[in-house]
Amino acid sequence: MDKRLPVKNEKDELGELCMTFNDLLDRLEVSFQSQKMFVSNVSHELRTPLAALIAELDLSLQKERTEQEYQKAIQNALQDAKRMTKLIDGLLNLAKAGYQKEQIKMQEIRLDELLLDTRELILKAHPEYHIELIFEQEEADDDRQIIVKGNLYLLNIAFSNLIENNCKYSADHSSFVQISYWKEWTIIRLSDDGIGLSETDEQNLFILFYRGEQDKTIEGHGIGMALSQKIIHLHQGHITVHSEQNKGTTFVVELPHI
């Protein structure tokens, strides 16, 4: 898949045909690599929760148990199954974010409306969370500065992951989301006043399946941050993180507006 046709003259018909064919091979190679990575990720990450589920069911069948013990075993198995469902959803979204830009449906999206919808969805699942949105945009003439060309589904996932990360690691489960703009960029800052990140965790935060020391007590799979970064990059944007231990973390997302 890594072999390409030689192009002697880019300006003649044969050269253009070779370049078109090479572009096709590029897309095929990316697709094959994405599929290989997806299969590898699935087999690696599903092994642990599946083993826990099998062990729980196997243990419950080894001898006769009380009704309460069976109910407890069923609850544990159900919890493991829900973890696998969440993991599979994350891996599927990771695969979708691995598509090339031309393979994904893009539309004009108002980021303020997207963030309002994202907050509503998160609060339905986690009513104990507090999400404060701050919009600097005041004049109607500036509407275009908060409109981006993007995929609604993927951007919703990216911002949901970032907001939920803020809420999970702050004592009061809060996230402060500020949207502004500068030149050709719309800028979204997502902050918390939580436990913050160590220097090592900050450097490795966007590595797939990486989980820091503090993550041992909080449920997760190490997919969310890598997925968010991949989605932002897919939209020709940038994402950075600034954190200080015991003071909080701020994610800064920059997306080009129309």
Closest CA to 237 of 228, 225, 224: 228
List the beta bridge partners of residue 182.
Answer: 185
Instruction: Determine the pLDDT at residue 32.
Output: 82
DSSP of 122-158, one letter per residue?
A: HHHH-TT-EEEEEE---SGGGGGGGEEEE-HHHHHHH
Say what the pLDDT of residue 88 is: 82
- Looking at residue 116, its pLDDT comes to 95
Three-class SS string for 169-236? CCCCCEEEEEEEEECCEEEEEEEECCCCCCHHHHHHCCCCCCCCHHHHHCCCCCCHHHHHHHHHHHCC
Q: Which CATH number fits domain 104-256: 3.30.565.10, 3.40.50.2000, 3.40.50.300, 3.30.70.100?
A: 3.30.565.10
Q: What is the pLDDT of residue 142?
A: 65
For domain 13-97, give the fold: Helix Hairpins (1.10.287)
**Cβ neighbours, 10 Å, residue 167:** 21
pLDDT value at position 185? Answer: 94
Alpha helices in 98-151 (DSSP H): 111-125
Strand runs (DSSP E) across 39-81, as ranges?
none
pLDDT in tens, the chain (258 residues): 789 999 988 889 999 999 999 999 998 888 788 777 767 767 766 777 788 888 888 888 888 889 998 999 899 888 888 878 877 887 777 777 776 677 788 899 999 999 999 999 999 989 999 999 998 755 545 678 889 999 998 999 999 999 999 999 898 999 999 999 888 999 999 999 999 998 888 888 988 777 776 655 566 677 889 889 999 999 999 999 999 998 999 999 999 998
pLDDT at residue 175, rounded to an integer: 97
Number of H helices, E strands in the chain: 6, 7
Residue with tokens 């963030």: 115
Q: What does the DSSP 8-state code read for residue 12?
A: S
- In the chain, where the domains are located: 13-97, 104-256
pLDDT the model gives residue 140 = 44
Evaluate whether 161 touches 239 at the Cβ level (below 8 Å).
Answer: no
What's the angle, vertex CA 207, arms to CA 131 and CA 52, rounded to 5?
85
Can you state the percent helix, strand and coil of the chain, rounding each to 5?
Answer: 55, 20, 25
Q: Take residue 235 and report the two structure tokens written for it.
A: 């939209």
